[in-house]
Structure 1
């Protein structure tokens, strides 16, 4: 029988670290004046950490028989956790915030502590999945910039498979590393039809070659060769035999030159004579879910927007680069609904008086547009005129007719007099306004006085040019004015 006394061993080695007896290495962590010197023992660090084994072999002893090392890209707080793990094999994460744990993961990887890297990934995925989703863009990009994060990569890829727009429609898609893109399009359960996968692959490849002509009819053979070379690692993972007949003609045919001639011939052969045998490898079709999830969570209190819309609005409130995923950090409390409470602007003032941090959502009659805005200031029925609200924004949400949502924040490079025109209150005239980018007047359902126009206080219009007004208070007969089919106002607050 073998007895193991690891607790005592761990405690004794930890005491050796704290006492610093017989140390032969000093490690300066961080930048002065906040740096800290750690007195450590080369034999312990070399036996436990491949990084230090290589480093100490490169550094000679000084006259005091001590090796001196400086590490500036790891904080004192992180290294203190790491060095205690190295000596005692113990780590406690209870008092560490999630972003610190993630930074600890990155530092552990730099020091080649594979056991700790695997443990921290598993901990984050099993215990802090909601935090990973809320910070998805940063986590995903970092997981492919830093090697060995396979557990987190698999976690992220699973989210992307179920919600592909999370990455394909994000502003970071075109800068995605090649191996990340390949890992996505290799997935059997990616919830996209193959024609759409092909479009994204082509879009990514073009972004890597900005000199390619915009109009494909102007492309030369060299242009196609350039794109083919860029995509040579991606092309084998596209499932060409899962394309619809229309997509073969409309999407694949224009780029046939980036495929091998024999491959293109066999794709056409298979679609014309499905039973004929070919030599090309036929990848299996993707496992598209047959049961479509309902577009709106029944617990979400809106009859206009979906959970996906709410997540996007929440990300805008927090000024995130990409939308939140699944776990919304905000609660949306319904205050007003037109069909329930009435459509007159005066009704809104009465119900929302003294309430701040509200989102108004409007479904435009006839067009299906979903317009709205976020107002961080208090509704006040006694106010008349304009006021500044620098964190306010307006938007047009993604619908069947609008591929991507439009976000319009307040401008920062305008003079003071334009800045104070960001939110307008005027109960007496039944008027509320986000600058002139979204103006609400009178009865939203019947008066046809609401309109949008270009505005100096906000970055961009939220409607297409044909529906923008060129004047202040256009008549109801004007094409730019609109009625509202339904509207809702929510109080938005952080979840506890």
Structure 2
């Protein structure tokens, strides 16, 4: 039986890092003037990282018999974690922001730290799924650039169930070809085949901005240009799953993109269904059968829709994938500005001692819908900050805002403020409501104590309508 004393070994090597006796390498990390120099030992780093082994073989010693490396693209915060892992085999992520952990993953990949790369991918997909979803486009593209298999699988599962996540994002048209192909190859992609065709054509056109907008103006050269751009994508569209009507409507105008044999087979399927077809027929996608939704009472609101309510409920439950039907919560209207008044003091009085509330506002003149979720009991006559880990503010998707924004509290102690004396109601500094919301424009949105802005500016605003709902689980 072999006894392993790893803890002592880890501690001794970490002490060597802190007191680098006989070091023979210096690494300057970060950009000047904020860079930091680490004194380390080549035999430890090259035994742990193929990257460092290669670098040390390429780098000569200086006159002091020390090799000098520079790593300006890695932050000292990230490198501190990496160097402690290399020496002591330990890692602590508790105090790191999710963005730093993702940077750590990228740096670990660059340094060929395979064990750490796998661990960080698992950690992010298991414990920080909401952050991955919030930064989905960047995460997804990076996962392909760096070949992060675990995160790729996580992202593909989301795309398959909720294709709008990527197809309707502002980053869709800039997707690299290999990323687009990986998506349209998914067997369980929950999207009709004709719509997949539409998105592929859209992507190809964006890559060739000189193509005429009007298809009637296209020449054979225009079609050839698009066909060349899409040559690796087109084989993954499942043409034989598209109905005859949609084939005529959507494929026929682009028939010059098809090889003659494939186009003949597509038409043969409808004209002579029993005739043999030589083209490869990809299996239809595994589209989940829709179930009849439970009959629900639509939300009684002048500001938000049932879809908005589902999205807010998903945020309350911190769901990785949003609810699309059967809202688990009931939204009971407590306050409507046009009926009860727009003064913040009035709202606090009506909602006194009520917890788990959602406030929604329609901004005057812009059509924006913003608001927040307050899990705490509203206290009308007490003026102070209250602590919460579950409050959040948001902007909801409208005609002018392509995607909703949710911003969760980061400074828990300053999550919510009630002050009826001054007619204040605040979600940190991110949503600050002041006085009469209809007649004055003293309310504003900033970034204080929450993750990010929910409006693009900090200008004061008034509201067209405001509503407050009590949110309770359905029985």
Q: If the length of structure 1 is used for normalisation, what is the TM-score?
A: 0.69
Q: How many Å separate the matches in 1 of 2:25 and 2:294?
A: 60
**Using a 3 Å threshold, how does the CA distance of structure 1 residues 12 and 293 change in structure 2: closer, same or farther?**
farther
CA contact (8 A) 2:163 2:189 kept: yes
2:98 paired residue number: 98
**Quick one: structure 1 residues 350 and 42, their matched pair in 2 at CA, closer, same or farther if it must change by over 3 Å?**
closer
User: Which secondary structure state, in structure 1, belongs to the residue aligned with residue 224 of structure 2?
Assistant: helix
Which residue is equivalent to 1:359?
A: 360
| Corresponding residue SS for 2:264 | helix
Q: Aligned to 1:349, what secondary structure does the other structure show?
A: coil
Instruction: Please give the secondary structure, in 2, of the residue aligned with 1:57.
Output: helix
Other-structure match for 1:47: 47
Residues 294, 65 of structure 1: CA spacing in aligned structure 2 closer, same or farther, 3 A cutoff?
A: farther
CA contact (8 A) 2:223 2:256 kept: yes
| Contact map agreement 1:26 1:66 (CA 8 A) in 2 | yes
**How big is the shift at 1:411?**
7.5
Cα distance in 1, alignment partners of residues 339 and 445 from structure 2 = 24
> 1:237-289, CA deviations, whole angstroms, 9 ceiling, x for partnerless residues?
10010001111100111111111111111111122222222111111101111
SS at match of 2:112: coil
1:149 maps to 148
String of CA shifts for 1:204-225, please: whole Å, max 9, x gaps: 0001000000011110111111
RMSD after superposition: 3.7
Aligned to 1:349: 342
1:147 Cα deviation after fit = 1.3
Which residue number in structure 1 is paired with residue 74 of structure 2?
A: 74
Unaligned 5+ segments in structure 1 are 316-323, 363-370, 393-407, 413-418, 424-432, 435-439, 441-486
1:131 CA drift (Å): 2.5
- Aligned residue for 1:378, secondary structure, equals strand
Structure 1 residue runs of 4 or more that deviate by more than 6 Å after TM superposition: 298-303, 312-315, 408-412
Distance 1:2 1:234, change over 3 A: same
Partners of 1:293 and 1:164 in 2: how far apart?
A: 21
Identify the residue that residue 212 of structure 1 maps to in structure 2.
211
In structure 2, the partner of 1:387 is 441
Deviation by residue 1:382-414 (Cα, 9 ceiling, x = unmatched): x8844254549xxxxxxxxxxxxxxx97889xx
**Residues 125-180 of structure 1 deviation map (CA, whole Å, 9 limit, x = unaligned):** 12222222233233223323x31211111101110111111111111111111111
**Which of residues 374, 381, 386 is equivalent to 2:370?**
374
Deviation at 1:71, TM superposition (A): 0.8
> What CA distance in whole angstroms lies between the structure 2 residues aligned with 1:19 and 1:213?
67
Quote the residue 1:447 is aligned against: none
Distance 1:350 1:33 in 2: 51
Report the counterpart of residue 443 of structure 1 in structure 2: none
Cα separation, partners in 2 of 1:350 and 1:161, compared to 1, 3 Å:
same
Residue 333 (structure 2) aligns with: 336
Task: Tell me what 1:170 maps to.
Answer: 169
Aligned pairs for 1:389-428 (under 5 A) are 389-391=443-445, 422-423=461-462
- Alpha-carbon distance in 1 for matches of 2:338, 2:438: 14
The answer for the alignment partner of 1:326 in structure 2 is 322
Structure 2: gaps (5+ residues): 349-356, 372-430, 447-453
Aligned residues: 386
CA contact (8 A) 1:30 1:71 kept: yes
Matches of 1:251 and 1:151 in 2, distance apart? 36
Q: What does the per-residue CA deviation read over 1:19-47, in whole Å, with 9 as the maximum and x for residues that have no partner?
A: 21111100011123322211111121112
Q: For residue 239 of structure 1, what is the aligned residue in structure 2?
A: 238
Q: Which residue of 1 aligns with 2:114?
A: 114
Deviations 1:333-380 (A, max 9, x none): 95736xxx7x88242437973559941479xxxxxxxx7633745364
- Would you say the 8 A contact 2:310–2:322 is kept in 1? no
Question: Is 1:5 matched with 2:5?
Answer: yes
Could you tell me how far apart the structure 2 residues matched to 1:254 and 1:139 are? Answer: 36
The answer as to whether partners of 2:361 and 2:369 remain within 8 angstroms in 1 is yes
The answer on whether the counterparts of 1:245 and 1:271 sit within 8 Å (CA) in structure 2 is yes
